[in-house]
Amino acid sequence: MLPVTEVFKIARAAGSTFTAMTIDLERAASFMAAHARVLDRRRFDLLVGDGAPARLRTSVLDAVDAYRNPDGGYGWGLEPDLRAWGSQPAAALHAFEAMADAAPATSPHAVGLCDWLDAVTHADGGLAFALPIDDPAACAPFWVDADPDASSLQITAAVAARAHRVARHDAEVAHHPWLATVTRYCIDAIRALDAAPFAYVLSFAVQFADAAADSTDEARGVLDHLGPFVPHDGALVVAGGAEGETLHLLDFAPEPDRPVRALLSGDAVAADLDRLAGLQQPDGGWVVDFDSFSPAASLEWRGYATVRAVATLRANGR
């Protein structure tokens, strides 16, 4: 398979212009080759690369398997600011994300991940923000200091949202008892919100409701419940975060033709697409506006953000 940069050069020599995109994919490919971790390079190749699609999907699943533990969970820095080896709910989020990217290919380990999550889910159906961490080196304080005995709507909704994306093409995940348990927890916890919650809680709650709407009508009602908390422009300022840290419309509504888009105006979506496209840096990659807690995490987040930006812009015709 040719490197992505070579594919672009050959296509340009043949007269292709890539005018459907408002970003420089060749520079993005160069950034990924120079700085991104293998998993995100594989995800980028699947997104824009040349080669047999089945092989590209398998390469994504193989790359995420490198972070898998014998207990069925994932760790080893799959969440860049949680670098400890042990299995964590945050790492499950990223594992499901990679599995969803690889659709319609399915991972033989998706059910094992559901089994692991079921084993660490609390009696109320929620997940801890983080489990105890043996080695806190280069781990963000909010992971290290999390209460392992308290359920967190933020992390539970985030993991469940990605699991529902996988369930669209993996029947074993769709019918796993854990998914029903965690869905019930999220629906009940979101319905109990009577004011706009912390920005990340709101963003992940919206993502969960949008993803779960494919399989349960209750999730559509939950999405309506969250609607009044979403600003017109979709910008959610992160209280207590880094200076300027903000979650944007495309962070929780990246896909067109999804139920969540009913909460948003077409003008707001177009403006945020312009914002996202304009954030490509001279080196070809994108940046994040939150703090990273190690040099490795800083670069890994940039690779992750670059894949997400290109995927979002491409899905929306940019």
Q: Could you please report the per-residue DSSP string of 255-266?
A: STTSGGGGGS-H
Would 43 be classed as within a structural domain?
yes
Domain edge (last residue) among 229, 261, 295: 229
Residues 225 and 287 in one domain: no
Token pair recorded at residue 31:
């950034």
**Whether residues 92 and 167 fall in one domain:** yes
Claim to verify: residue 290 and residue 175 sit in the same structural domain: no
**Does residue 57 sit in the same domain as residue 118?**
no
| Together in a domain, 84 and 135 | yes
Of 229, 257, 285, the last residue of a domain is 229
**Residue 176 forms part of a structural domain:** yes
pTM attached to this predicted model: 0.92
Confidence label for 2 from pLDDT (cuts 50, 70 and 90): very low
Domain membership of residue 258 (yes or no) is no
Residue 50: predicted pLDDT: 65
Max CA pair span of the chain: 60
Residues 106, 9: Cα–Cα separation, whole Å: 32
Domain finish residue from 229, 253, 282 = 229
Q: Does residue 36 sit within a domain?
A: yes
Residue range 136-182, pLDDT digits in tens:
999 999 999 999 999 999 999 999 999 999 999 999 999 999 999 99
Domain count, the chain: 2
Answer yes or no: is pLDDT of 72 > 80. Answer: yes
Instruction: Give the Å distances, CA to CA, from 274 to 133, 173, 302.
Output: 40, 36, 19
Q: Is the pLDDT of residue 109 over 70?
A: yes
Rounded Cα distance, 66 and 49, in Å: 22
Residue 54 sits in the same domain as residue 93:
no
Range(s) of the domain holding residue 14: 1-66+273-318
Question: Do 72 and 128 lie in a common domain?
Answer: yes
Q: Are residues 72 and 203 in the same domain?
A: yes
Residues 75 and 211 grouped into a single domain: yes
Q: Is 190 exposed, middle or buried (CB count within 10 Å of its CB: 0-12, 13-18, 19+)? A: buried
- SS3 call for 233: coil
